Structure formats: C-alpha cells, structure tokens
C-alpha cells in the first residue's frame, strides 16, 4: 500500500512533502500550506521592496491559480487508487497501463512543465522585459527575480501536468471505447468507475477555464495572451472529447446490455412506510440510462417522491424452456425530471422522448391523442413525468443461475 501511494504522487509534491512541516501534514493540506507560504512570502517581499499594489494583486492571482489547479490535479491519485478492476482483462490491462504512465516512476509528467518553463523564461528575459518591469518595477532585486522565477516554475509545472493528464485521458478514453466493443458475456467496466473517469475529465475542463485568470497578468503581451487562450482551448477541447467518449462506453456487460435493449416491458417495485407497490411499465434504454414515464397522478410517482429507492426488473421469458429465461434486477434510486431540469437536461429529456416514439410508435401515437383522459396523455411534464433509474446494485439471472454484477 505504501508503494501504491508513492506512485500516485507527482515528483514536485513528493520532494516538498519530505520537508518539515509539510511532511507532518496530509498530502492535500501540505500542498495548500506550500502555496499559502508562497503567498505570504510574495506579499512580504512586495512590502519590503515597495512594489505597486497591482503587482501584489498579480502575484496573489498567480498563487490562486496554482492553488485551484492543485486542488483539481490532486483528485487524480485518490480517485484512481479507489478504482475497482474491470471485469474484462483487456480493459483492466488498459487502465493499469494508464495509471502506470500517468504516475510513472521516472516522472515523465515533469517534461512538459520543464519545456514550458524554459521557453517562458527565455521569452520573458529576452523579449518580454516590459512585462517584467510591469510586475517588479525597474531594476528589480535579485531576490524578487528569484521569487518570481519560483512562482513561474510552480505555474509552468502545473500547466505541464494539465497537458500531460489531458492527453493521457483522451488516449485512455479512445482505447477503452475501442476495447469495449470486443466484450463478451459479462465483461464490463463498472458504472461508478466510468463515472469517476468522466468526473476527472470534467475537472480538467475546469482546469482549462481557470487558466483564463492568468490573462490579466499578461495583458500587455498579446503573444502570451494568445498562448494562454490556445492552452485553454486545448485543455477544454481534449477533456470534453474524452468525457464524451467515456459517456458512450457501455457500463453493462453484453449479455445484460442486449437484454435491456431488446426487452419491451419492466416491473417497477416501490415501497412507502412498509407497504410494497409493483406496477408494469414500458421503458427505453439509451445505452447508458434506463428511462420510464408515468402519470402525474400515478401512485408509484407519489411513492417515489417520498422514497426514491426503486427495484426495476426486466425479464425475457421462454415458456418452452425455463433454462433459457433471462432477467436483470436494478436496485437503486431514481431521478425525477421536472421543469427545473429543462435548462440543463433538455437534450437528454428530448432524446428519451424520441426513443419512446421510436420503440413504441403505436403506443405514443394512441396516448398522445387529446381524446384520452388527461392523466393518460403523453404530454411531457404536464401529464407525464420522465424518470431515470440510477442503479447501485445489479442482479442478473441466466437460466437458473443468479449472478451479482458490480455497478
């Protein structure tokens, strides 16, 4: 376990983490303390050398960016340490390779940071002297130059980490999606693990957005402003593409995926104050989530508003041979869609409606007519409510055999 933790740290944090008092604190707080000391040191030097207020503001902004970047980057190690092995040898091999490269013992992640630092320092001292004067004034002290170099290194190092993690995440997502197409039977990567990878990609999107805070510091140099914008676009674009690819990787193994995709009916089990309630429903599956809709007056909706726990059973029956029967039970919670979800989840709601119309054309045509009672009509959010099943446990039956599938 000790070796795993060591491998899940970047080289800069490893080195500083061995120096008291940082070594006495947890990994996360030691990084924050380092940056806090950097901020205090910068303000102190600013007052000693009578720097302009704007210079102190620039330095504080740079430290803030480093802090925010660190908080996002530091989530990588703990998240990947908790990662459960996929039930697919090829997918497991890929993700282990991804972690090995990301936190390589030779610390290749430092290479982009060093390259950015060297190029930036050459540009700053030979071509960006006006920028240096704006920050530190004329003829700055060597102490100030040393401090600003340390701060620039801190930023460049983390910029390099942003590039390193974004490129590897995109490679990981592309490869995982490709390998997932070759799955057989019950091979899969659990839903929670795919969601964790997607969350790390979203963190990288914020990493890119935070980079824009550096623009005021560089506003006098349009070339450097353009570089920051390009860096931001690269991080955001690569991370968004990676997150989108991960969202398309099936989290269900092929056997269950095909059953859920092909079956037409399901049974919803709910409970309130110890009283169970079961009803049949039609549903759709978009490859990632299971949706069903229900009347605003339905008892199951009233129960789910008070207790969002659900049992959702899908089965396929062969009356001539019971050993050919298949069924899958999702137990978990539900997401009930309402008016407040329209701004952010409208495309998701629209996609679910299209799937219903495609899968059950006669049903949707008949129940869309105004001749039916209002509670039966398929008017979204007015008469019918869309509900998404969020499983926390899956049990699969194939013939007479029961299989628990990790979510």
Whether residue 340 sits in one domain with residue 206: no
The answer to whether the beta carbons of residues 51 and 147 sit under 8 Å apart is no
Nearest in space to 160 (alpha carbons), one of 11, 59, 264, 50:
11
What local confidence, expressed as pLDDT, does residue 5 receive? 43
Nearest in space to 393 (alpha carbons), one of 385, 375, 405:
405
Which range, 8-17, 83-92, 100-109, is most confident? 100-109
Mean per-residue pLDDT of the chain: 84
Question: Which residues, other chains included, contact 307 with Cβ-Cβ below 8 Å and sequence gap of 6+?
Answer: 270, 271, 272
Residue reference for tokens 């979204």: 380
Banded pLDDT at 42 (limits 50, 70, 90): confident
Nearest in space to 98 (alpha carbons), one of 20, 12, 197, 27:
197
What local confidence, expressed as pLDDT, does residue 281 receive? 92
3-state DSSP assignment of residue 72 = helix
Domain that holds residue 320: 254-405
Distances (CA, A) of 320 to 85, 314, 326: 38, 19, 13
Whether residue 168 sits in one domain with residue 34: yes
Structure letter (DSSP) for residue 393: E
Rounded average pLDDT over 348-353:
87
Give tens-digit pLDDT for 49-65.
888 888 888 888 988 89
Nearest in space to 205 (alpha carbons), one of 171, 167, 233:
233
Rounded average pLDDT over 266-292:
91
Whether residue 310 sits in one domain with residue 228: no
Whether residue 368 sits in one domain with residue 389: yes
Whether residue 261 sits in one domain with residue 170: no
Rounded average pLDDT over 121-129:
81
Question: Which residues, other chains included, contact 223 with Cβ-Cβ below 8 Å and sequence gap of 6+?
Answer: none
Banded pLDDT at 109 (limits 50, 70, 90): confident
What local confidence, expressed as pLDDT, does residue 375 receive? 46
Rounded average pLDDT over 19-45:
73
Domain finish residue from 211, 229, 247:
247
Q: Could you tell me the pTM of the whole model?
A: 0.80
Domain finish residue from 247, 263, 291:
247
What local confidence, expressed as pLDDT, does residue 25 receive? 67
Half-sphere exposure of 335 (CA within 13 A, CB side): 14
C-alpha 87: how far from chain center: 21
Whether residue 174 sits in one domain with residue 306: no
What local confidence, expressed as pLDDT, does residue 79 receive? 83
Overall number of domains in the chain: 2
Distances (CA, A) of 310 to 330, 333, 348, 391: 8, 6, 21, 9
The answer to whether the beta carbons of residues 214 and 230 sit under 8 Å apart is no
Asked whether the CA dihedral 307, 248, 198, 339 is positive or negative, the reply is negative
Distances (CA, A) of 169 to 92, 207, 238, 278, 407: 15, 14, 8, 43, 22
Which range, 9-13, 253-257, 316-320, 343-347, is most confident? 253-257
Distances (CA, A) of 10 to 31, 99, 267, 364: 11, 12, 49, 55
The answer to whether the beta carbons of residues 335 and 387 sit under 8 Å apart is yes
- Report helix angle 191-210 to 142-180, nearest 10: 150
Q: Which of 3-7, 10-14, 23-27 has the lowest mean pLDDT?
A: 3-7
Banded pLDDT at 330 (limits 50, 70, 90): very high
Instruction: Count, in order, helices (H) and strands (E) of the chain.
Output: 16, 7
Domain finish residue from 215, 247, 279:
247
- Checking if the pLDDT of 322 tops 80, the result is no
Read off the CATH number of the domain in which 340 is found: 2.30.110.10
What local confidence, expressed as pLDDT, does residue 4 receive? 43
Structure letter (DSSP) for residue 372: S
Whether residue 281 sits in one domain with residue 140: no
Distances (CA, A) of 403 to 91, 252, 326: 21, 13, 11
Whether residue 86 sits in one domain with residue 39: yes
What local confidence, expressed as pLDDT, does residue 7 receive? 52
Whether residue 285 sits in one domain with residue 216: no
Higher pLDDT, 350 or 321: 350
């Amino acid at each position: 376990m000790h070796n795993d933790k060591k491998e899940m740290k970047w080289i800069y944090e490893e080195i500083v983490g061995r120096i008291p008092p940082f070594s006495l604190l947890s990994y996360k707080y030691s990084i924050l303390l380092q940056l806090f000391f950097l901020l205090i040191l910068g303000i102190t030097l600013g007052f000693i050398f009578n720097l302009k207020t704007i210079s102190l503001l620039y330095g504080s902004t740079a430290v803030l960016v480093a802090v925010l970047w660190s908080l996002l980057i530091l989530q990588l190690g703990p998240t990947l340490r908790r990662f459960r092995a996929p039930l697919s040898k090829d997918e497991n091999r890929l993700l282990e390779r991804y972690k090995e490269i990301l936190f390589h013992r030779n610390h290749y992640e430092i290479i982009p940071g060093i390259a950015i630092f060297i190029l930036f320092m050459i540009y700053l001292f030979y071509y960006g002297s006006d920028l240096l004067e704006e920050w530190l004034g004329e003829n700055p002290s060597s102490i100030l130059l040393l401090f600003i170099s340390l701060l620039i290194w801190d930023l460049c190092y983390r910029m390099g980490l942003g590039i390193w993690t974004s490129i590897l995440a995109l490679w990981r997502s592309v490869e995982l999606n490709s390998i997932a197409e070759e799955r057989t039977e019950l091979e899969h990567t659990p839903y929670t693990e795919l969601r964790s990878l997607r969350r790390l990609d979203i963190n990288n999107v914020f990493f890119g957005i935070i980079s824009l805070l550096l623009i005021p510091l560089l506003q006098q140099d349009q070339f450097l402003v353009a570089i920051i914008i390009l860096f931001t676009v690269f991080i955001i674009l690569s991370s968004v593409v990676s997150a989108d690819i991960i969202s398309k990787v099936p989290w269900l193994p092929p056997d269950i995926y095909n059953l859920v995709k092909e079956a037409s009916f399901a049974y919803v089990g709910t409970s309130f104050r110890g009283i169970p309630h079961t009803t049949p429903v039609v549903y759709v599956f978009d490859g990632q989530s299971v949706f069903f809709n229900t009347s605003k007056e339905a008892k199951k909706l009233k129960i789910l508003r008070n207790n969002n726990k659900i049992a959702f059973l899908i089965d396929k029956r062969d009356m001539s041979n019971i050993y050919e029967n298949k069924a899958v039970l999702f137990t978990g919670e539900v997401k009930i869609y309402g008016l407040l979800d329209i701004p952010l989840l409208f495309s998701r709601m629209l996609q679910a409606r299209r799937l219903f119309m495609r899968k059950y054309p006669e049903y949707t045509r008949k129940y869309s007519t105004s001749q039916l009672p209002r509670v039966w009509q398929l008017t979204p959010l007015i008469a019918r409510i869309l509900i998404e099943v969020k499983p926390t446990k899956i049990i699969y039956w194939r013939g007479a055999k029961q299989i628990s599938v990790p979510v």
